[in-house]
Amino acid sequence: MSLLVEENPARRRFEILVDDALAGFVGYRVESGTMVLVHTEVDQRFEGKGVGSALARGTLDQLRDRGERVRITCPFLLSYLERHPEYTSVVAGD
């Protein structure tokens, strides 16, 4: 299974492709210059296969590599962050 996470700025989301098929996305909005990760969705065909975690990891890796700091309101990503504290540097302080 080939996984690719890439940003789609026109749709304001990070998308995960599984074998070239869109399998899910993390939607965001920009508020006062800060990216806010608001929603994660994975297609039912890919649930339970680690696609959501791969999407979260790929999104957060790209943001960390770019030196960006974001706010997270998405419950799935907040839960992922609790299990993966190595990404706390990506989260902007209040």
Per-residue model confidence as pLDDT tens digits over 10-68 = 999 999 999 999 999 999 999 998 999 999 999 999 999 999 999 999 999 999 999 99
Domain boundaries, position 63? 3-90
pLDDT attached to residue 93: 74
Tokens of 59: 């999104």
pLDDT attached to residue 91: 94
Q: What is the mean pLDDT of residues 70-81?
A: 97
Count of alpha carbons within 13 Å of 53, Cβ hemisphere only? 6
Task: Give me the number of domains the chain comprises.
Answer: 1
Is the pLDDT at 94 greater than 70? The verdict is no
State the CATH number of the domain containing residue 20: 3.40.630.30
